[in-house]
Every structure is written in structure tokens, then in C-alpha cells.
């Protein structure tokens, strides 16, 4: 039977998780409603809005888990509780891994990497099955005192997920210049991981502190997810609409640029002596306009065609300097380039809004250093 303190914890978890899940779903709905036209042109790129759906589902799993635990504990069926806990553990891990698959700043091992994501999901499912087998072998239950061997695999599972989440959220908020939130997110995830230990060493005297720690940690994580969704909506609102952006390469080291939402209308950009920057920019444009989907991006760093992300930043900084853009109107790297994952970037302009002078294009692809680019151009 439940004591009143643990019953209060379960009821709190039910309503907090449900409300959090609904709020994140509401943010996703708003993104679809207000930014659908902007996102449809980048449909092949894994976007954060799909990650929001999986974050919402992971919170809903917490809600369902608490509901099942509340009712099954009332009737006292220990095995139903253990089976349901394993099933919900698998579902929660699945949705969180799928969410990280869509987060731009998740580790490259996960972001937009179907093969590795599937491997981790299968590994997590295996750990959950192992947890249930150990519960049967050692006859562990939710009221077992001392070491619960069946919880050890869950601790390992929690450690893996906590590591991926901590890295992803810290990088995301740090990139968005929300340093305090990035630090808080790491602390909250660490607290969630620590809150799992009382399950492995079930000591009745610590039940109150265990429940208190878990409700604080889960409430904190839900808040972090809400900040993540909200900050991404703000980022979308500030990112130029790709359908209105146009670029025309008119001559060597010279192009015409239009980004109306940034106040840039058919302005000429003379790269001058910055030949490498112009060549790199032209490479992105040729791939985006002529290449097949798989070849539209360029690997940056990691031994790729472009040696460092600094080269991308310099293109943007040079354009800002040439056009003498004010601080509030300056271009960011995300305005011109889309991160694909695994160190790869693609130009954001849609193909029909990219124009390249035929003489310039012919001279560029005939250069021995750019021979492969001739293969992208239809004959």
C-alpha cells in the first residue's frame, strides 16, 4: 500500500508531466502553424520541431508510468509494477534518443545519424530486458531492501542518456548565449541521475528525500525542455525566411545578395582579395543548385573539403563588414548555412533563388582543383 507521502509524489508527477507534455506539444503546434512555409523548403533537414514531439512523448510516458504505479501499488501487484516500469523505461529512453536525433547540437554520434541511433536504441532495450531478467533471478521488488541488482542496468541506461542530454542541452544553450541555462541544465540532469541511486539501495528512511529529489529534478528538466522549445521558436523568428533570400554570383569575387528580413536588397558584395572565401561560398552554391540531395552539403573540418568552421564564420563576418551592417542587422552563420550533422553544412538558399553567371561557372569547373564540380552540373 502507498503511504501518503509517496502518493503525493506520484500525483504530483502525473500532473506536472502531463502539463509539461501538453505545453511542449503546444509549442510544436505553434511552430507548424507559423513557420510551416519556412520549414517546408528544408524538409529533408532534421529539424528541432520533430525533436519537440519526442520530448513531449517522453514526458507523457512519465505521466503514464506514474498513473500505472499509483493504481497497481494500490492493489499490491508487484509483478505488474516491475513489468510496467521496464516497458516505460524502454519507451522513455526511445523517445529521448529520437529527440536527440533532431537536435542540432547533439553529439555527432547521434545527430541525424540513423545507424548509430538504432544501435543505441537496441542497446537500451537490451538493458531494460536484462533488468527484468535480473529482477526475476534475484527476486527483486520495489520493496526490496539493500542492493537491488535489477536496477543496476537501469543506472547504466540512465548514465548514458544523462551524458547525451547534458552535452546536447549545454551546447544548445551555450550556442544561443544562454550560459546560465546551459549550466542549470547540466545540474538538473546530474540531479536526475543521482535520484536513481535510492532505487538501487532501497532504504526506507530516505524515501522522502528520494521522492523530493526526483520531483525537483523532473520539474527542472521539464522547465529546461520548455525553455529549449521557446528559444528555438525565437531563433526561427529571427532567421531570414529562405523563400525570400536570393543570391547571384555575377563575376569573380563579386555577388549580389538579397535578404529582405535583414534589410539587404540586391546589394553588391565585393570579396576583393578574399578569394578563398568566395571560392568556398561558390562551392556551396553550385552544390545547392545543381547537385543531388546527398551531395548538396560540404563536410567542414574532420578532414573534410573545408578545413575548419572558421572558414564559414569568416564568410559571414566579411559580408557583414562589406555591407557595414549594424549590430542588430548582422548576419549569423545560421542565416546562410544549415547544419546537416556529422560535420556537414549546406547553403540555405533554395536552388531557384541561386543564380550563377555562365562564364564564371564554366571557368570555375574547368579549374583542375574543381573538376568534380563539373559532374554536378546537368549536361
At residue 7, the pLDDT reads 83
- How many CB atoms neighbour CB 217 within 10 A? 20
Average pLDDT rounded to a whole number, residues 42-55: 69
Helical (H) or strand (E) element with 76: none
Exposure string for 97-116, b = 16+ CB within 10 A, e = fewer: bbbbbbbbbbeeebbbbeeb
Is-contact 28 230, C-beta < 8 A?
no
Residues 81-125: tens digit of each pLDDT: 666 666 777 788 888 888 888 777 777 777 667 677 777 778 877
Answer yes or no: is pLDDT of 141 > 80: no
Is-contact 337 284, C-beta < 8 A?
yes
Answer yes or no: is pLDDT of 12 > 80: yes
Answer yes or no: is pLDDT of 308 > 70: yes
pLDDT level of residue 19 (50, 70, 90 thresholds) = very high
CA–CA dist 356, 373 (Å, integer): 13
Instruction: Return the closest-CA partner of residue 188 out of 230, 216, 161, 164.
Output: 216
pLDDT level of residue 16 (50, 70, 90 thresholds) = very high
Answer yes or no: is pLDDT of 1 > 60: no
CA–CA dist 229, 221 (Å, integer): 12
* Grid cell at residue 77: 501487484
More confident residue, 88 or 221: 221
Residues 320-342: tens digit of each pLDDT: 888 888 777 788 888 888 877 66
More confident residue, 111 or 346: 346
Strands 354-356 and 246-251, by their bridges, are parallel
Beta bridge partners, 338, equal 346
Residues 67-83: tens digit of each pLDDT: 888 877 665 566 666 66
At residue 277, the pLDDT reads 87
Domain ranges across the chain: 4-238, 242-374
* Grid cell at residue 332: 549569423
How high does pLDDT run on average in the chain? 81
Interior angle at CA 43, CA 330 and CA 226, nearest 5: 65
Answer yes or no: is pLDDT of 174 > 60: yes
Q: What percent of the chain has pLDDT over 70?
A: 83
Answer yes or no: is pLDDT of 244 > 60: yes
pLDDT level of residue 31 (50, 70, 90 thresholds) = confident
Burial class of 312 by CB neighbour count within 10 A (0 to 12, 13 to 18, 19+): buried
Report residue 168 CA to chain centroid gap. 7
Residues 193-211: tens digit of each pLDDT: 888 777 666 656 667 777 8
At residue 60, the pLDDT reads 93
At residue 268, the pLDDT reads 92
Instruction: Look at residue 148 and give its three-state secondary structure.
Output: coil
Computed on alpha carbons and rounded to an integer, the radius of gyration of the chain in Å comes to: 25
Give me the phi and psi of 245, to 5 degrees please: -85, 135
Answer yes or no: is pLDDT of 42 > 70: no
Instruction: Return the closest-CA partner of residue 157 out of 183, 189, 120, 184.
Output: 120
Is-contact 338 345, C-beta < 8 A?
yes
At residue 41, the pLDDT reads 64
Answer yes or no: is pLDDT of 271 > 90: no
CA–CA dist 203, 209 (Å, integer): 11
Length of the chain: 379
Residues 126-138: tens digit of each pLDDT: 777 777 777 667 6
Widest distance between CA atoms in the chain: 81
Is-contact 53 101, C-beta < 8 A?
no
Strands 201-202 and 354-356, by their bridges, are unpaired
Average pLDDT rounded to a whole number, residues 24-50: 73
Helical (H) or strand (E) element with 344: strand 344-347
N-term to C-term CA, the chain: 76
At residue 233, the pLDDT reads 85
Average pLDDT rounded to a whole number, residues 135-156: 65
Residues 224-241: tens digit of each pLDDT: 999 998 988 887 787 788
Which CATH number is 4-238's, of 1.10.1200, 1.10.150, 1.10.10, 1.20.1070?
1.20.1070
pLDDT level of residue 148 (50, 70, 90 thresholds) = low
Amino acid at each position: 500500500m502507498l503511504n501518503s507521502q509517496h502518493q503525493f509524489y506520484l500525483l504530483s508527477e502525473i500532473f506536472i508531466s502531463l502539463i509539461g507534455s501538453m505545453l511542449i506539444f503546444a509549442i510544436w503546434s505553434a511552430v507548424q502553424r507559423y513557420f510551416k512555409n519556412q520549414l517546408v523548403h528544408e524538409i529533408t533537414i532534421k529539424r528541432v520541431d520533430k525533436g519537440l514531439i519526442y520530448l513531449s512523448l517522453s514526458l507523457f510516458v512519465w505521466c503514464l508510468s506514474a498513473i500505472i504505479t499509483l493504481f497497481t501499488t494500490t492493489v499490491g501487484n508487484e509483478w505488474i509494477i516491475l513489468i510496467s516500469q521496464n516497458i516505460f523505461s524502454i519507451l522513455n529512453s526511445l523517445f529521448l534518443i529520437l529527440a536527440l536525433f533532431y537536435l542540432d547540437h547533439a553529439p555527432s554520434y547521434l545527430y541525424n545519424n540513423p545507424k548509430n541511433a538504432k544501435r543505441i536504441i537496441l542497446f537500451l532495450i537490451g538493458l531494460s530486458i536484462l533488468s527484468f531478467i535480473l529482477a526475476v533471478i534475484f527476486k527483486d521488488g520495489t520493496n526490496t531492501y539493500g542492493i537491488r541488482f535489477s536496477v543496476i542496468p537501469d543506472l547504466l541506461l540512465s548514465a548514458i542518456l544523462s551524458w547525451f542530454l547534458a552535452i546536447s542541452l549545454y551546447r544548445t544553450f551555450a550556442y544561443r548565449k544562454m550560459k546560465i541555462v546551459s549550466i542549470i541544465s547540466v545540474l538538473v540532469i546530474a540531479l536526475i541521475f543521482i535520484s536513481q541511486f535510492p532505487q538501487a539501495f532501497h532504504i526506507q528512511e530516505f524515501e522522502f528525500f528520494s521522492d523530493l529529489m526526483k520531483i525537483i529534478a523532473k520539474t527542472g528538466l521539464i522547465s529546461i525542455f520548455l525553455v529549449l522549445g521557446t528559444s528555438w521558436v525565437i531563433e526561427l523568428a529571427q532567421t531570414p525566411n529562405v523563400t525570400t533570400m536570393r543570391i547571384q554570383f555575377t563575376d569573380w569575387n563579386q555577388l549580389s545578395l538579397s535578404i529582405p528580413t535583414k534589410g539587404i536588397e540586391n546589394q553588391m558584395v565585393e570579396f576583393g582579395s578574399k578569394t578563398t572565401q568566395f571560392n568556398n561560398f561558390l562551392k556551396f552554391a553550385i552544390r545547392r543548385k545543381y547537385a543531388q540531395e546527398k551531395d548538396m552539403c560540404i563536410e567542414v573540418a574532420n578532414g573534410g573539403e573545408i578545413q575548419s568552421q572558421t572558414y564559414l564564420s569568416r564568410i559571414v563576418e566579411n559580408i557583414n563588414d562589406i555591407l557595414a551592417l549594424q549590430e542588430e542587422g548582422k548576419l549569423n552563420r545560421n542565416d546562410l548555412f544549415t547544419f546537416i550533422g556529422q560535420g556537414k553544412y549546406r547553403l540555405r538558399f533554395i536552388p531557384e533563388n541561386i543564380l550563377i553567371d555562365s562564364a564564371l561557372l564554366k571557368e570555375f569547373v574547368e579549374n583542375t582543383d574543381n573538376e568534380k564540380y563539373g559532374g554536378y552540373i546537368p549536361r
